Structures are given as C-alpha cells and as structure tokens.
C-alpha cells in the first residue's frame, strides 16, 4: 500500500467493494448502474475519476477489449485473460504465470511495485475453423 497516499475515500471503497463482490470484471457503466440500485448514486464521470485514482493506488487494474471497452477488476484478484482478436471472446487463464515471478533490486529501477497486468491474444477455436474454410 502506498505510504504517501491517503486511504481510499468512502466512494472509492464503495467502488472497490462492488468490484470485489462481482464474479467478473466490470465496466464503468456497469458500476454506475449497480450503484444506482443502492442508496448512494454516483455520476458516470465521478465513477471514472475514482476508478482512475484506485488504479493509481494499485488497488484496481484495467484492461481494454478489442471493442475499446475498458473493464476493471481488483488487483488482489490475480486473474488474467486470453482474448480472441477476431470475435473478442475472452476467457480467464487458469493460473497466473507471473504469480511467482518477482523483480529484484536493480530490475525495479527504484520503483515500489504495486501490481502487474498480463494479457494474451490469439484466435479462438471457432475463428480458426472459420478461417480454415475455403
């Protein structure tokens, strides 16, 4: 946890809680809609601003689908994806291959590491078969 940075605000905690409770990644729109069902609503611009601050604190990571949609997940869930560049199908990797990889000393360039991202891209089976057809 970054020492110089104040603890996440109440609204950031709220967003983080929603992300932790979800069984999948959520977009800013998803979070906006979820919060609308509760007592505490939050404007979409505010949702994105807090998500950005959560990323800066190393608590939330973000990935972009080929469609351009940004999806958010808590960094304490070490989960990564394999995405088809053709149809956009995204599946969860069973294990994080980076889980036991640690940077040491000079490799970190003096950084205090917070989290990592990792994505694989390829062609899913269905798209491979479709492309193989004459």
- Contact in structure between 49 and 87 (CB atoms under 8 Å): no
Least distance to Zn ion from the beta carbon of 48, Å? 24
User: Does position 22 bind Zn ion by CB under 5 A?
Assistant: no
List the structure tokens of 1: 């946890």
* Site track 50-79 with Zn ion (rule: CB under 5 A), x = hit: ----------------------------x-
Nearest to 79 by CA among 67, 64, 61: 61
Q: Which stretch binds Zn ion (CB under 5 A): 3-11, 53-61, 101-109, 121-129?
A: 121-129
Residues 89-108 that bind Zn ion (CB under 5 A): 89, 96, 98
Task: Write out the residues near Zn ion by the rule CB under 5 A.
Answer: 78, 84, 86-87, 89, 96, 98, 124, 127
């Amino acid at each position: 946890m970054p020492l110089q940075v104040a603890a996440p605000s109440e609204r950031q905690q709220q967003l983080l809680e929603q992300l932790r409770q979800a069984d999948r990644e959520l977009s800013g729109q998803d979070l906006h809609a979820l919060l609308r069902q509760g007592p505490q609503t939050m404007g979409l611009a505010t949702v994105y601003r807090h998500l950005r601050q959560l990323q800066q604190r190393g608590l939330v990571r973000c990935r972009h689908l080929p469609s351009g949609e940004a999806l958010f997940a808590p960094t304490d869930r070490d989960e990564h994806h394999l995405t088809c560049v053709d149809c956009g199908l995204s599946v969860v990797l069973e294990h994080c291959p980076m889980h036991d990889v640690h940077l040491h000393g000079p490799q970190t360039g003096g950084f205090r590491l917070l989290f990592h991202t990792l994505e694989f891209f390829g062609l899913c089976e269905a798209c491979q078969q479709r492309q193989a057809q004459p």
